[in-house]
């Protein structure tokens, strides 16, 4: 049965909630209107006529973007487009540092593999997915039946169409919804500000407020001449936008309505105290230790060589982002007493079970959950090290893991030379991309440091055999081992790799491939032991029971990279006693942080000159200042990067790009008093395009609301 597409929202906690943009639990639009929204439900989300929904895309593999012109011009965050900018950069044309501005459509740069996806259809398929599923099934049997049913439904809905069909679980598997997306594969880079604007503050300012960052990047979506999705072709034409967002010059003030549509990635706000304890004691510290080690080596080599800086800028940013995230999350989970809050909620649930005689259905929930987490804590740290310091640690080690299928074919007696050649040919573009941005000396130091850490921190009984033996032999020093491996392996030398592709032979004796294989096999063995105790049934029942216990509460689902709407307002923040942060920052604050020659806080000379002359034009506020960033009470998480901040009339007023340090526990527990979304002001966007870049070709495309 199709879902009725009306948007109804909750009055439950003012600004908490990543709501699916249609009715599931009877939320009510009146709350949004009370906060100032002037739009109808159909203007926000409709399949019958153009709506805000049609301007919002999934950008790449983990961000959001929005259309801002009739010709498919697309806005997202600088850090979302950084990989594409880096791929087009070189020492001679360092677009990372100086920025990139296409003066016309012929100068826009294609990006192989980059896609954007538009949501085109939704249907609640819970009943169909659960056909044949019984309470007597084991979790594995249940999952297999659900997967079988889901695959059948996906095939039926896809048919012969070029669309992506996903069936996504909600509420820990108590509901299933089908999503259909139109996927566009010709997305071209149009503009990117210089590093000193788009990356201003870098690691130091990340996840904090106040911020002073012009975190934007501009692309364009192209289609076949008939308007359908198509791979890159010189014959493709700019998309004719079904809907796009006008950009407001009115600015923001405290209390102004703010709405965000986007694709938040993952939250777990209905999880148990066991999950919280795991993040604090196991997962968080393990990821922090591994990524700190990796980043130290990246920074050493990037600071020493501009060519390495270009190659590793996107990689460093990716590793750094969630390194600092976990530092903040662990700290704020403790500060905000999230474990204690979850424990109290679980006590209330157990009291409800006992009072209402629900023991038959829910009585063993916490026994199962406790058993699961007591079992998991034996393996979590080791599994994370296998991933972070092992097969996703050094680049050569990670890349080698992608050759397992080819190696299996080579070792097989049944695979023909032609079949093997096809597999190798399919990898050639990946090989080219890998070596384009690879630095052997950097990877050597990263690999040595991570293997040293792996051996030192993980119990010998849970180490991969090679790491255990080498570490024992060399007293935990992997320098000689890695140096020898790098001297022989094809995965660190493009010429050796080229020779191998011309005459592929078994990789079993390649030292990097052997190490990768050993780490992966060890990981799979540990993971199998960890999964011997499964907690998904108990978590599903707990979620079901919570919703039954709190019948009057509107339960929004956890984020899972499906379209969500959040609403709130522009507000300041008071995160601690005697501490108050203003709701906005200005270009004056950029210059207060300015450090000539510093990779995090240097700024372009053109921006300095505009600031010195106060040459802000119509983008200045009523005080003559240029607002750079502002904060709202919206509820977002990773994946919302690049999401539009929309005013009461449906105009773009900003671009969401981060959360604040005091609410880093937000993925597990929304902190109503301190949680803020950090946004780039739309006027700063226009100022950079117009005044600094003088990109009048882009200005002429935009619809600007005075």
As annotated, the active-site residues are 79, 215, 641
Residue 645, SS3 per DSSP: strand
**Tokens linked to 489:** 């392996």
Report yes or no: 87 and 266 within 8 Å, Cβ to Cβ: no
Side-chain-side CA neighbours of 70 within 13 Å: the count stands at 4
HEC assignment per residue over 521-533: HHHHHHHHHHCCC
At residue 660, what are phi and psi to the nearest 5 degrees? -105, 155
Rounded alpha-carbon distances, angstroms, from residue 538 to 172, 199, 416: 10, 43, 48
Between strands 704-705 and 247-248, the pairing is parallel
| Residue 9 contacts residue 19 (beta carbons within 8 Å) | yes
In the three-class reduction of DSSP (H, G, I as helix; E, B as strand; rest coil), residue 52 is classed as helix
Q: Which of 588, 582, 593 is nearest to 199 (CA)?
A: 593
Instruction: Give which of 687, 697, 619, 684 is closest to 215, Cα–Cα.
Output: 684
**Rounded to an integer, what is the distance from CA 104 to the centroid of its chain?**
31
DSSP-based three-state secondary structure for 628: strand
Strands 644-646 and 247-248, sheet pairing? unpaired
Q: How far apart are CA 221 and CA 96, in angstroms?
A: 22
- The Cα 508–Cα 485 span in angstroms is 13
278 contacts 376 by C-beta, under 8 angstroms: yes
Q: Is the backbone of residue 489 left (phi > 0), alpha (psi -120 to 50) or beta?
A: beta
| Cα–Cα dist 703/699, whole Å | 8
Q: Are 640 and 264 in contact (CB under 8 A)?
A: yes
| Both tokens assigned to 421 | 């050649």
Quote the tokens at residue 568.
Answer: 């709130």
Query: Alpha-carbon torsion 249, 255, 257, 262, what sign?
Result: positive
Structure tokens at 243: 């809907």
Angle, to 10 degrees, between the axis of helix 338-355 and the axis of helix 365-376? 150
* 33, burial (CB in 10 Å: exposed 0-12, middle 13-18, buried 19+): middle
CA–CA separation, 307 and 616 (whole Å): 35
């Amino acid at each position: 049965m199709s879902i009725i597409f009306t948007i109804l929202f909750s009055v439950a906690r003012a600004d908490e909630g990543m709501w699916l943009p249609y009715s599931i639990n009877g939320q009510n639009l009146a709350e949004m209107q009370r906060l100032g929204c002037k739009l109808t439900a159909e203007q926000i989300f409709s399949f019958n006529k153009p709506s805000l929904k049609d301007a919002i895309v999934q950008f790449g593999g983990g961000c959001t973007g929005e259309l801002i012109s009739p010709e498919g011009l697309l806005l997202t965050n600088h850090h979302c487009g950084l990989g594409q900018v880096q791929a087009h950069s070189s020492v001679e044309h360092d677009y990372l540092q100086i920025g990139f501005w296409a003066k016309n459509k012929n100068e826009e740069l294609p990006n192989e593999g980059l896609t954007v996806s538009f949501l085109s259809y939704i249907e609640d398929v819970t009943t169909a997915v659960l056909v044949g599923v019984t309470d007597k099934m084991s979790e594995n049997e249940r999952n297999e039946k659900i997967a079988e049913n889901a695959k059948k439904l996906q095939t039926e809905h896809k048919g012969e169409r070029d669309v992506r069909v996903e069936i996504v679980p909600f509420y820990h598997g108590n509901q299933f919804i089908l999503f259909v997306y139109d996927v566009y594969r010709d997305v071209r880079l149009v503009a990117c500000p210089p590093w000193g604007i788009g990356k201003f503050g870098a690691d130091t300012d990340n996840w904090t407020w106040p911020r002073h960052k012009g975190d934007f990047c501009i692309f364009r979506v192209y289609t076949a001449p008939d308007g359908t999705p198509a791979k890159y072709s010189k014959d493709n034409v700019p998309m004719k936008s079904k809907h796009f967002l006008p950009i407001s010059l009115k600015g923001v003030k405290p209390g102004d309505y703010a709405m965000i549509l986007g694709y938040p990635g993952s939250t777990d706000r209905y999880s148990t105290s066991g999950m919280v304890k795991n993040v604090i004691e196991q997962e968080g510290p393990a990821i922090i230790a591994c990524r700190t080690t990796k980043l130290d080596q990246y920074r050493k080599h990037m600071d020493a060589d501009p060519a390495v800086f270009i190659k590793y800028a996107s990689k460093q940013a990716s590793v750094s982002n969630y390194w600092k995230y976990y530092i903040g999350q662990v700290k704020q989970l403790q500060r905000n007493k999230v474990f204690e809050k979850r424990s109290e909620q679980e006590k209330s649930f157990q009291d409800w079970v006992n009072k209402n005689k629900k023991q038959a259905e829910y009585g063993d929930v916490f026994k199962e959950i406790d058993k699961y987490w007591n079992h998991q804590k034996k393996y979590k740290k080791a599994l994370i090290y296998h991933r972070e310091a092992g097969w996703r640690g050094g680049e050569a080690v990670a890349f080698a893991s992608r050759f397992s299928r080819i190696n299996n074919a080579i070792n097989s007696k049944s695979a023909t030379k032609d079949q093997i050649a096809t597999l190798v040919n399919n990898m050639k573009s990946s090989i080219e991309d890998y070596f384009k941005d690879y630095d052997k000396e950097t990877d050597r130091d990263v690999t040595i440091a991570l293997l040293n850490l792996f051996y030192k921190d993980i119990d010998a009984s849970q180490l991969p055999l090679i790491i255990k033996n080498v570490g024992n032999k060399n007293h935990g020093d992997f320098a000689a081992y890695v140096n020898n491996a790098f001297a022989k392996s094809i995965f660190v030398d493009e010429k050796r790799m080229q020779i191998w592709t011309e005459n592929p032979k078994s990789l079993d004796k390649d030292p990097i491939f052997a190490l990768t294989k050993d780490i992966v096999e060890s990981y799979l063995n540990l993971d199998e032991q960890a999964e011997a105790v499964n907690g998904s049934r108990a978590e599903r029942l707990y979620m079901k029971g919570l919703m039954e216990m709190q019948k009057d509460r509107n339960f929004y689902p956890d984020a899972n990279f499906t379209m969500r709407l959040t609403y709130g307002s522009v507000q300041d923040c008071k995160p601690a006693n005697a501490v108050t942060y203003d709701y906005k920052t200005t270009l004056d604050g950029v210059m207060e942080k300015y450090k000539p020659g510093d990779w995090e806080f240097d700024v372009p000379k053109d921006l300095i000159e505009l600031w010195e002359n106060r040459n802000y034009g119509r983008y200045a506020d009523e005080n003559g200042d240029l607002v750079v960033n502002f904060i709202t009470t919206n509820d977002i998480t990773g994946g919302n990067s690049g999401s539009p901040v929309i005013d009461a009339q449906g105009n773009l007023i900003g671009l969401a790009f981060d959360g604040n340090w005091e609410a880093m526990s937000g993925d597990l527990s929304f902190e109503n008093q301190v949680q803020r979304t950090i946004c780039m002001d739309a006027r700063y966007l226009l100022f950079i395009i117009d005044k600094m870049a003088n990109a009048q070709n882009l200005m002429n495309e935009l619809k600007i609301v005075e």
